[in-house]
């Protein structure tokens, strides 16, 4: 199945992730968040690197979708939401 925006409410907000799991995530410094109705024009700057939907942020961590209200991430099979 192709990667795409996830349905609202199906991702765990990052701040609700347990402390042990959060400690295993790499730091994510999002300095720019560009949402556009056209997926080809969406991108974020994470740790100074331009990243698009479907790209890997770190081993085991993929950017699934860039949404108006934040990012959907797949981390080792868990869908997470990082608010804007």
Is 23 inside any structural domain?
Answer: yes
pTM (predicted TM-score): 0.84
Q: Has residue 2 been placed in a domain?
A: no
- How confident is residue 6, by pLDDT bands cut at 50, 70 and 90? very low
Residue at 14 is within a domain? no
Question: What's the structural domain count of the chain?
Answer: 1
Those residues whose C-beta lies under 8 Å from the C-beta of residue 64, and which sit 6 or more positions away, are 3, 4, 5, 6, 53, 54, 71, 72, 73, 74, 79
In a domain, 13, yes or no: no
- 1 vs 28 pLDDT, higher one: 28
CATH of the domain at 69: 2.30.30
Domain that holds residue 46: 19-83
Flag whether 36 is in a domain: yes
Q: Does residue 47 sit within a domain?
A: yes
Asked whether residue 79 carries a pLDDT value surpassing 80, the answer given is yes
What does the pLDDT read at residue 9? Answer: 62
Q: What is the pLDDT of residue 10?
A: 87
- In tens, the pLDDT along 28-73 reads 899 999 999 999 999 999 999 999 999 999 999 999 999 999 999 9
**CB contact at 8 A, 53 and 64:** yes
């Amino acid at each position: 199945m192709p990667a795409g925006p996830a349905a609202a409410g199906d991702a765990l907000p990052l701040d609700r992730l347990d402390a042990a799991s959060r400690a295993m995530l790499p730091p994510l410094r999002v300095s720019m968040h560009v949402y556009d109705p056209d997926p080809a024009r969406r991108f974020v700057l994470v740790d100074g690197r331009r990243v698009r939907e479907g790209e890997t942020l770190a081993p085991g961590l993929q950017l699934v979708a860039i949404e108006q209200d934040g990012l959907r991430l797949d981390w080792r099979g868990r869908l997470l939401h990082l608010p804007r």
